[in-house]
């Protein structure tokens, strides 16, 4: 069972309120038992959304007439046209970590 966005919003507001569950429910005029049940459902949901791979296209930059240190060594482009230009001075380890974080 998924937690409806209404309940998710209540739960997130309660977490930031500093109130007990009962105090929050009284303030919001919602049933405390229903809130507790929805909180239980909320806590059972997967902590992380499933990972999805996003296709990218790696292009070699066109040669410039004058070489500059900031010239991109790699350009990643996604299906929506966003581009990430990576300089040759960036370590391969950093790029690998970036891709792991984006996955």
Predicted TM-score (pTM) of the model is 0.44
Assigned domain for 78 exists: yes
Alpha carbon distance 76, 83 (integer Å)? 6
Assigned domain for 49 exists: no
Do 62 and 40 sit in the same domain of this protein?
Answer: no
Do 98 and 72 sit in the same domain of this protein?
Answer: yes
Do 39 and 70 sit in the same domain of this protein?
Answer: no
Per-residue pLDDT in tens (0 to 9) along the chain, 103 residues: 455 788 989 999 999 999 999 999 999 999 999 999 999 988 887 766 666 777 777 776 666 555 455 566 777 777 777 777 888 787 878 877 877 777 6
How large is the greatest C-alpha to C-alpha distance in the chain, in angstroms? 70
Dihedral pair phi/psi, residue 45, rounded to 5°: -65, 155
Note down the domain range covering 85: 56-102
* Rounded alpha-carbon distances, angstroms, from residue 34 to 41, 76, 91, 103: 11, 47, 52, 36
Assigned domain for 51 exists: no
Assigned domain for 50 exists: no
Do 37 and 67 sit in the same domain of this protein?
Answer: no
Do 29 and 67 sit in the same domain of this protein?
Answer: no
Do 91 and 65 sit in the same domain of this protein?
Answer: yes
Do 39 and 61 sit in the same domain of this protein?
Answer: no
Q: Indicate the number of domains in the chain.
A: 2
Do 98 and 68 sit in the same domain of this protein?
Answer: yes
């Amino acid at each position: 069972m998924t937690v409806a966005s209404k309940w998710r919003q209540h739960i997130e507001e309660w977490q930031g309120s500093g109130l007990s569950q009962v105090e929050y429910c009284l303030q919001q005029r919602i049933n405390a038992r229903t809130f507790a049940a929805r909180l239980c459902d909320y806590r059972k949901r997967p902590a992380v959304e499933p990972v999805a791979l996003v296709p990218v296209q790696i292009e070699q930059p066109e040669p410039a007439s004058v070489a500059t240190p900031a010239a991109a060594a790699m350009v990643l482009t996604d299906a929506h046209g966003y581009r990430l230009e990576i300089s040759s001075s960036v370590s391969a380890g950093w790029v690998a970590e970036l891709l792991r974080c984006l996955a």
